[in-house]
Structure 1
């Protein structure tokens, strides 16, 4: 019974992450497949670029919430006394990661999704909200100083495990730090084209005032 519950929650986390809000909103309200426009990704950044601020903000909030929800499913294992509280973080990480994987490879949309940054943020908010809020601040600072969304996303993702190394936080389980670096590697991998454009000086800058990219 315990194994079935854990397996069911794993599947649910992936399916929640697979909710392709950018694709569905684009098709339902604008009659377009957002993956055929802009950068070709079904994430919040491309939604801002192609559809504008309002749909972009909605997609971002949904993507953050689904990451938080997928990660929070691990709480059922405590409710039903399946795992000890000190082991909860391991299952939070697994379910959160499955949510991120679902966003990147959504089963509902032929496994073609976004880059998973907003979903990853929701995961971090569920596990370490204070550190996650600090990462948001870092993202905003990098975005406003460089005007590169991709650079801000990658630096903020890297900041998460690094901040956990500070004495202030004292994570009870070092696996969270290791997992943080692994997730940063995933973010860097999904942003490899952006990295190449940054190196070549060809990456698009965000128009902060308008909330779109030029």
Structure 2
């Protein structure tokens, strides 16, 4: 059922996702646009490279909150529209809102539609949709990052962990969540195409979280 509440929630989700935290933090505290340095993306990984760990952590946390908050706007729409909170219909509303927020991060209206790769915002969405699977993704990300120091590789493998865990570990009965998990894999492959090429060639840059600042 389409209502003024669900339409308003979708608009709000996009606006949440469009908040360019990396761009605004870079401009407010350093007077630079992070998209002009490093990989050219307005995301947490590039912020770590360009501005250092404090700014990178701030951007990562805020981007996760964007996805988490936008996805949970489903709770404000009303049970008459979304159905019970444990229903398939409610899960579908959460997915729609979360995906809209991720699109906002990729194409932010507040930053000339030049955003990041959406991994942190995507993770915030996963946290809201399926918390146990999200924690498993975190574990994979940490293990891969500690052994490789490649954020891109860690993000890719963590992203692929979600659908695999949904299907084989948690065996979710909601088909839309399973389909969404598969779509995550496609999105990650598309947005990380250049990273994958650099990883294959051995030219992908590593991220040192203990380094104060990368010029």
C-alpha distance in 2, partners of 1:146/1:52?
A: 19
C-alpha distance in 2, partners of 1:146/1:181?
A: 25
Deviating beyond 4 angstroms after TM superposition, the runs of 4 or more aligned structure 1 residues are 211-214
Task: Give the root-mean-square deviation of aligned CA atoms.
Answer: 1.7
Aligned residue in 2 for 1:82: 81
Aligned residue in 2 for 1:109: 111
Please say if residues 22 and 44 of structure 2, whose CA atoms lie closer than 8 Å, have aligned partners that are also in contact: yes
Please say if residues 48 and 211 of structure 1, whose CA atoms lie closer than 8 Å, have aligned partners that are also in contact: no
C-alpha distance in 1, partners of 2:136/2:34?
A: 30
Q: TM-score, normalised by structure 1?
A: 0.94
Q: 1:117 to 1:75 in 2, by over 3 A?
A: same
* Structure 1 segments unaligned to the other structure (5+ residues): none
Please say if residues 144 and 208 of structure 1, whose CA atoms lie closer than 8 Å, have aligned partners that are also in contact: no
Matched, 1:193 2:194: yes
Aligned residue in 1 for 2:165: 163
C-alpha distance in 2, partners of 1:112/1:205?
A: 23
Q: TM-score, normalised by structure 2?
A: 0.93
Matched, 1:139 2:138: no
1:109-128 CA-to-partner distances (Å, cap 9, x unmatched) read 11000000000010000011
Please say if residues 102 and 122 of structure 2, whose CA atoms lie closer than 8 Å, have aligned partners that are also in contact: yes
1:35-75 CA-to-partner distances (Å, cap 9, x unmatched) read 00111001011111111111111111000000000100111
Q: Does 1 or 2 have the higher relative contact order (CA < 8 Å, sep 6+)?
A: 2
1:15-51 CA-to-partner distances (Å, cap 9, x unmatched) read 1000001000111111001100111001011111111
Matched, 1:73 2:93: no
C-alpha distance in 2, partners of 1:45/1:61?
A: 12
C-alpha distance in 1, partners of 2:213/2:183?
A: 30
Aligned residue in 1 for 2:31: 31
Q: What displacement does 1:102 show?
A: 0.5
1:118-173 CA-to-partner distances (Å, cap 9, x unmatched) read 0001000001111101101100111111221101101100100100112x523131
Q: How many residues align?
A: 212
